[in-house]
């Protein structure tokens, strides 16, 4: 088992400050979906805050025994790699194929800015989210997928028509929601069907 290095106090604060400055860049990473008022596209920092709030709001829809505080921590960390890797459009198979390596390389650089123990802890949260092997990770991923469906539904399809996304493609993502929360997955499926019925999502 590798030993975790604890930096001297002054060096530790310097490293934490460097990380704090670096993650501010998440605010400039623009996602595909619109804000729910349709005024502009959302950025990654807004998304991370929003899904963290959803974890609090929808905690009762998580599997019994789920550690919600860990879910929130995971959601705050999960998109930091996009500072380097950028936002991947989940309906673009070419971009998705290259995503894993780009994000792993980003994780190596970004988390390494922290003192060793914190770097290990945050990297562990990110790895857990990506692996989706725990109830916490599956619920976090469910919220990450639920948020853009909710946003697109509330903006008359949002960016779905722009990128020619079909109902079958969205339903594939709903399966990830169902894995983490059957009740949210069921509701997301209703939103998809309603969006199709209203002509906001192609069959």
Domain boundaries, the chain: 9-197
Q: Is the pLDDT of residue 95 over 90?
A: no
Domain 9-197 has CATH 1.10.3720.10: no
Segment 159-181 mean pLDDT: 94
Its pTM stands at 0.92
Q: Is the pLDDT of residue 35 over 80?
A: yes
pLDDT above 60 for 77: yes
Structure confidence at residue 3 as a pLDDT band (50, 70, 90)? low
Strands 41-43 and 30-34: antiparallel
The residues, any chain, with a CB within 8 Å of residue 33's CB and separated by 6 or more, are 41, 42, 148, 151, 152, 155, 158, 159
At residue 1 the predicted structure's pLDDT band, cuts being 50, 70 and 90, is very low
Q: Which helix (H) or strand (E) holds 32?
A: strand 30-34
Tell whether the model's pLDDT for residue 172 goes beyond 50. Answer: yes
pLDDT at 136 over 50: yes
Q: What is the pLDDT of residue 94?
A: 84
- Is the pLDDT assigned to residue 4 strictly greater than 90? no
Distance between CA 201 and CA 196 in Å, rounded?
A: 5
Q: What per-residue confidence (pLDDT) applies to 195?
A: 96
pLDDT tens across 36-65, in order? 999 999 999 999 999 999 999 999 999 999
Give long-range contacts, CB 8 A cutoff, 24+ apart: 157-160: 157/195, 157/200, 157/201, 158/33, 158/34, 158/38, 159/32, 159/33, 159/34, 160/195, 160/200, 160/201, 160/202
The predicted pLDDT at position 67 comes to 98
Spatial distance between the Cα atoms of 16 and 22, rounded to a whole number of angstroms? 10
- Looking at residue 29, its pLDDT comes to 97
- Work out the pLDDT band at 6, boundaries 50, 70, 90: low
pLDDT at position 15, please?
A: 97
Q: What is the mean pLDDT of the chain?
A: 94
């Amino acid at each position: 088992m590798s030993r975790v290095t604890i930096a001297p106090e002054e060096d530790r604060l310097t490293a934490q400050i460097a990380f704090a400055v670096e993650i501010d860049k998440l605010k400039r990473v623009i996602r595909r979906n619109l804000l729910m008022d349709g005024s502009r596209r959302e950025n990654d920092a807004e998304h991370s805050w929003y899904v963290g709030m959803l974890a609090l709001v929808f905690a009762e829809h998580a599997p019994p025994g789920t550690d919600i505080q860990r879910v929130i921590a995971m959601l705050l960390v999960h998109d930091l790699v996009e500072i380097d890797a950028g936002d991947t459009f989940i309906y673009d198979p070419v971009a998705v194929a290259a995503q894993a390596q780009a994000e792993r390389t980003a994780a190596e650089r970004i988390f390494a800015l922290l003192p060793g123990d914190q770097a290990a802890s945050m990297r562990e949260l990110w790895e857990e989210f990506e692996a989706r092997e725990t109830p916490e990770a599956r619920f976090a991923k469910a919220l990450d997928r639920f948020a853009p469906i909710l946003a697109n539904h509330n903006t008359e399809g949002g960016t779905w028509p722009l990128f020619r996304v079909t109902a079958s493609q969205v339903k594939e993502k709903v399966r990830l929601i169902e894995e983490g929360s059957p009740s949210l997955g069921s509701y997301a499926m209703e939103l998809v069907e309603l969006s199709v019925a209203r002509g906001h999502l192609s069959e």
